[in-house]
Amino acid sequence: MDGIIRARGIQRSFNEIQVLSGLDLDVRQGEFLAIVGRSGVGKSTLLAILGTHDLDHGGTLSIAGIDTKELSSSDLARLRREYLGFVFQDFHLLPELTAMENVILPAVFSGRDLGKARERAGEVLSRLSIRADETPTTLLSRGERQRVAVARGLVNGPSVLLADEPSASLDMESEQTLFNLLDELRREQDFALLAVIHSRAVLDRADRVLELREGALHEVV
């Protein structure tokens, strides 16, 4: 499998507290990579860096062979759009919009074919058991909103889906359903899934499990 993300010597500190200290990571096409670690150890920070949302870090990061340090804002935006999908810990859905609208949002603002975007969003939402009706996402349950966030991360057909605790709000059955679907989609579309995970049941599905500890990643056997 080819490497879609290659990070070398990633460093990040906040107020002189070193959170990541020379972290190396390779994410291969199509793999499911789980990140574990104690709260506050820097898992979300790592995902923000890999998602190119946080650019204030040391070391080098390349996605699909492109060095992110050299990119302009608009090139970074293109990189995010074409290669990355992101599921935020707090979902970050726009509360006034419906599930369907939230999911097609990236396509709408990217000038993509709206018909195809709707079709694909409908398909993903349906597979995640979310009704594409006129209900604003504020009226959805936390679990439903999380699934909408997952659908939004997948709708552009990313090479890597970065997910920050995607099943944190789900019961065990919903969690299994979500990951069954993600496995299915991963097989169909060959995207890599890099997720911060706490659930032991999900960890068993991962191709690799890495623990973030003392600013670096350690493989968990």
Partner 1 sequence: MKWSETRMALHLWNRGHWRDYVFSQGMLFVASLLLVFFISIGLGVQNLLDRFLSSDLPAEQVRVTPAGMQAGFFQTETGGIEITEEVMQELQGSPIVGRVDPQIYAHVPALLKGLLGGQPYYTDITMEGVTGEFLGDSILRDIDWSYTLADSASRYLPIILSENLLLLYNAAFAESNDLIGLTPEGVLGTECTVTIGRSSIAQMELAPVTVRARIEATSRNMNLFAIGVPFEFVDQVNGMYLPGDERRYSALVITAKRAEDVPEIVRMVEEKGLRAETRRGIAQKAEILVGAVTAALSALAAAILLSALSSAIHTLVMDLKNRRFALGVLMALGTPYRRLAMIFAFQIFFMSALTMVLGAALGCLLAWGASSALLSLSPVLRAAVTSLAVFPVGWLAAGIGLMLVTSTGFAYAFFGRILGTPVTRLLRP
What is the contact surface with partner 1 in residues (CB under 8 A)? 48, 51, 53-56, 73-74, 77-82, 84, 86, 88, 90, 92-97, 101, 105-106, 108-111, 114, 152, 156
* β-bridge pairing 58-63 and 84-87: unpaired
Please report how close the Cβ of residue 109 comes to partner 1 at its closest, in angstroms. Answer: 4
DSSP secondary structure of 102-124: HHHHHHHHHT--HHHHHHHHHHH
Cβ-in-10-Å burial (0-12, 13-18, 19+) of 162 comes to: buried
Please report how close the Cβ of residue 14 comes to partner 1 at its closest, in angstroms. Answer: 11
For partner 1, the closer of residues 154 and 202 by Cβ is 154
Please report how close the Cβ of residue 202 comes to partner 1 at its closest, in angstroms. Answer: 24
CA distance 180 to 45: 27
Question: Long-range CB contacts (< 8 A, 24+ apart) of 167-174?
Answer: 167/197, 167/199, 167/202, 168/89, 168/198, 169/142, 169/143, 169/145, 170/143, 170/146, 171/143, 172/199, 172/201, 174/143, 174/147
Tokens 């068993």 correspond to 204
For partner 1, the closer of residues 135 and 176 by Cβ is 135
Please report how close the Cβ of residue 16 comes to partner 1 at its closest, in angstroms. Answer: 18
For partner 1, the closer of residues 194 and 206 by Cβ is 194
Please report how close the Cβ of residue 46 comes to partner 1 at its closest, in angstroms. Answer: 12
For partner 1, the closer of residues 41 and 202 by Cβ is 41
For partner 1, the closer of residues 80 and 120 by Cβ is 80
Which amino acid belongs to residue 200?
R
